[in-house]
Amino acid sequence: MAYSIGQVEELTGIKPHVLRYWEEIIPGFAPQKDFGGRRIYSQKELDMIIRLKFLIYEKKYTIEGARNQLIAEAQAVADNAEVMQKIQSIRSQLSDACLLIQKHRKQK
């Protein structure tokens, strides 16, 4: 599934200006843009945002430290691709379910 910047903010609590900043300094973090120039985030990018949020806000990494951690984790993912694909599939399903719940709550 693809997510707009607003949906990513809803799911993660990360403001759009922070997401745009992270795009500049995190390798491999570059959402696609639609014909109108709006950012479209993939599940992989959403997972990266959630991980960055955890590293920076919970573990108190610097942005550089978080970037280096992501690079190291990317190598581990490459070494365990099958397991990681299953985890990404489950995360995608959970993200979709979360958005549906939020949408349903707003309609009430």
pLDDT, greater one: 16 or 88: 16
For residues 12 and 43, give the distance between their C-alpha atoms in angstroms, rounded to a whole number. 13
Q: Which helix (H) or strand (E) holds 4?
A: strand 3-4
pLDDT in tens, 25-51: 998 888 999 999 999 999 989 999 999
pLDDT in tens, 57-68: 999 999 999 999
- β-pairing verdict for 39-41 and 32-33: antiparallel
Domain 3-107 has CATH 1.20.1250.20: no
pTM of the model: 0.71
What per-residue confidence (pLDDT) applies to 50?
95
Where are the domains positioned within the chain? Answer: 3-107
For residues 62 and 64, give the distance between their C-alpha atoms in angstroms, rounded to a whole number. 5
Query: How large is the greatest C-alpha to C-alpha distance in the chain, in angstroms?
Result: 46
Please answer whether residues 92 and 43 qualify as being in contact, where contact means their C-beta atoms are separated by less than 8 angstroms: yes
For residues 63 and 66, give the distance between their C-alpha atoms in angstroms, rounded to a whole number. 5
Please answer whether residues 46 and 8 qualify as being in contact, where contact means their C-beta atoms are separated by less than 8 angstroms: yes
